[in-house]
Structure 1
Amino acid sequence: MIRRTYRMDPGSIANLRIREEELEDPKAGEVQVAVKAIGLNFADLFTVWGMYKAAPSKDFIPGLEYSGVVSKVGPGANYLREGDRVMGITRFGAYVDTLNIDARYVVKLREKWSFTDGASFLVQALTAYYGMVDLGRLQKGETVLIHSAAGGVGLQANRIAKRFDAYTIGSIGSSHKIDTLKSEGFDDWIVRSKNFAHDLRNTLGDRRLDIVMECIGGSVLMDGIKQLGVQGRMIVYGSASFTTPGDRPNKLKMMMRYLRRPKIDPLLLPNSNKSVIGFNLIWLYAQIEKFEEILNALEEMQLPAPIIGERYTFDKLPDAIRKLQSGMTIGKVVVELQEPLTS
């Protein structure tokens, strides 16, 4: 069949252009999915820029998550049937209207969830759970600082933390996101500014942080480390402070920020009994047992449908990336598709 894709050479958002190409039938253990929605992630921006270490260096299709309908089932993929509504993750390749994918990375969509909901859940929830629970060892009643709290990961992190009766503080870059944090049950919040260190101290009062979900970097990262209590854990899964405006990355500015980045002396960590742990979800892709373990835990939690902030059509996908890049979005940015081309 003929499918539409955003196959590209990285370097600029402007390099994202729709192309048509042949797609073969699914192989053994695979299913073919007619994609109905694509979830965008902040990692997509750095992938498109060619600054994401795990991504191919040329001629590839970006995109990490999607939802849709199973259109063909390869030999041995007995868990799924044609017509099943599904959501899934992929190690790149989601910016398409149809894809073949290992059936082990495909999950049936909840009955009452839309395709848009399905394309907004997996990467965020897996990131939040793995970071806080697997690595952070979140305990009942602990205090958690969640950066980018109104984004996809931040909102899921709060929902998961609340299942542990955690006290959650959300940090956001704009005051227009405060109402979302209120409605989601955050205990407190901080609009990040040059006074973040002072504001964080005041917000904490006599508390100390047990976990920081860190995705900003720069001085904000160091401010968080200083407020970690004994046995506090900082979980680093991104660095949004490296983002620059424009379709192409401003490499000079990024280099300056890199040279000025925080430097943590590991010899000081034992004296303060603090931990700094970094991870990238994509490196867990081959660990299917861990993937299934976290999915089972999330299924038991029965978290509500994700918050959808922005919706774009497939032909406007580059604009969706630009919107995500702005840092002004709330919840998930999703690309919704019409019917794929037929052969």
Structure 2
Amino acid sequence: MRSMRVHELSENISVLRLDDVTLPPPGPGEVRLRLKACAVNFPDILMVQGKYQFKPELPFAPGMEGAGIVAEVGPGVTALKPGDEVVAGLRIGGFAEEVNIAAENCRPKPPGLSFVKAAAYPAAYLTAYVALIIRGQLKAGETLLVHGSTGGVGMAAVDIGKLWGATVIATSASDEKLKVVKARGADHVINVTGGFRERVKELTGGKGADVIYDPVGGDIFDESVRCIAWNGRLLIIGFTSGRIPSVSVNMPLIKGFSVVGVRAGEYGRRDPEAGRQNIETIDRLAAEGKIDPYVCATFPLERAVDAMRMLQNRQAIGKVVVTMD
């Protein structure tokens, strides 16, 4: 079977190459998954560059979340059978036609989703749900400000915010990308190129946003502190701007807001039962058609580097997916 693998770490992600690989039979508790699609995520790029906290042994195939069909089950596996359509949490290995994976890391594919969309929703929507509902305690009627709203985790936050009855203000530095987010249900959109603080205050009658979802960091975080409401919650998702910001503690004191860190996967590892319930919730929402991941582009396996570059160059809207057919 074919696999796009990294043999040496490099800033230049073109070091990936298409290999022919022979997989061993699935071991105890494992299944062999015939992958149909795998979403591209920023950690995939960071792993190729050796900059991610998890450093797989070389050679490895990137690809953290995929969807496919069970081809074979290993000893002791009873919950799955060949032919089952599943979503898989992979961590690595998804840029391949087949992968052996622990059966416990697979779950049924929501029937209404294609393999492409099934690969695109798990990480983004789990992050948004844990951030907004579990950590941020978002309530109906509150105002939610979503930064980076045109990326995968940002679009998911817009969707979850609307589902929970919030007024959603979405931001980005691209008017063209914001048109897509507005068409998908955001109440207001703001191009942050010239700043956003005054516009947020205007839209909220001077109050500010109750919950701010920030996967960007840097200057976006700094300005967010200036337009958050009393008792607001500023959710730290990541730092795609490249700068990790800081805040003078007198600001949360004076304005009465909380700065809340969000690591959706770690939340589940620390509290497995809560993590299971969170995953069940997003799976149910997907099965009921209440969330619909936006995929802007698909690339065949042999063009996985092009898919990663689209993300790296900030050209993507929503998710980019590698397909194996």
Deviation at 1:278, TM superposition (A): 2.1
Contact 2:6 2:58 in 1 (8 A): no
SS at match of 1:291: helix
User: What residue identity is the alignment partner of 1:78?
Assistant: T
Change (3 A) 1:61 1:283: farther
Residue 316 of structure 2: which of 293, 313, 329 is its match? 329
Q: How far apart, in 2, do the equivalents of 1:116 and 1:128 lie?
A: 20
Matches within 5 A, 1:135-214: 135-214=135-214
Matches within 5 A, 1:160-309: 160-242=160-242, 258=243, 261-266=244-249, 268-284=251-267, 286=269, 288-301=272-285, 302=288, 303-309=290-296
Change (3 A) 1:289 1:32: farther
- Aligned residue pairs, count: 320
Q: How far apart, in 2, do the equivalents of 1:48 and 1:290 lie?
A: 32
User: What residue identity is the alignment partner of 1:62?
Assistant: P
* Percent of residue pairs bearing the same amino acid type: 29
1:214-255 Cα offsets, whole Å, 9 max, x none, are 01111111111221212211111111112xxxxxxxxxxxxx
Does residue 6 of the first structure (1) align with residue 5 of the second (2)?
Answer: yes
2:94 aligned partner:
94
Change (3 A) 1:104 1:166: same
Q: How far apart, in 2, do the equivalents of 1:232 and 1:56 lie?
A: 39
Deviation at 1:135, TM superposition (A): 1.1
Deviation at 1:52, TM superposition (A): 1.5
Matches within 5 A, 1:111-150: 111-150=111-150
Q: How far apart, in 2, do the equivalents of 1:268 and 1:202 lie?
A: 21
Deviation at 1:122, TM superposition (A): 0.4
Q: How far apart, in 2, do the equivalents of 1:238 and 1:113 lie?
A: 28
User: More displaced, 117-126 or 207-216?
Assistant: 207-216
Q: Normalising by structure 1, report the TM-score.
A: 0.86
User: What residue identity is the alignment partner of 2:295?
Assistant: I
Structure 1: 5+ residue runs without aligned partners? 243-257, 339-343
Q: Normalising by structure 2, report the TM-score.
A: 0.91
Contact 1:37 1:335 in 2 (8 A): yes
Q: How far apart, in 1, do the equivalents of 2:275 and 2:55 lie?
A: 20
Matches within 5 A, 1:5-84: 5-11=4-10, 12-56=12-56, 58-84=58-84
Change (3 A) 1:55 1:143: farther
User: What residue identity is the alignment partner of 1:40?
Assistant: V
SS at match of 2:233: strand
Q: How far apart, in 2, do the equivalents of 1:182 and 1:90 lie?
A: 32
SS at match of 1:224: helix
Contact 1:10 1:57 in 2 (8 A): no
Contact 1:9 1:57 in 2 (8 A): no
Contact 1:91 1:282 in 2 (8 A): no
Q: How far apart, in 1, do the equivalents of 2:299 and 2:311 lie?
A: 11
Contact 1:7 1:19 in 2 (8 A): no
Q: CA RMSD in A?
A: 2.1
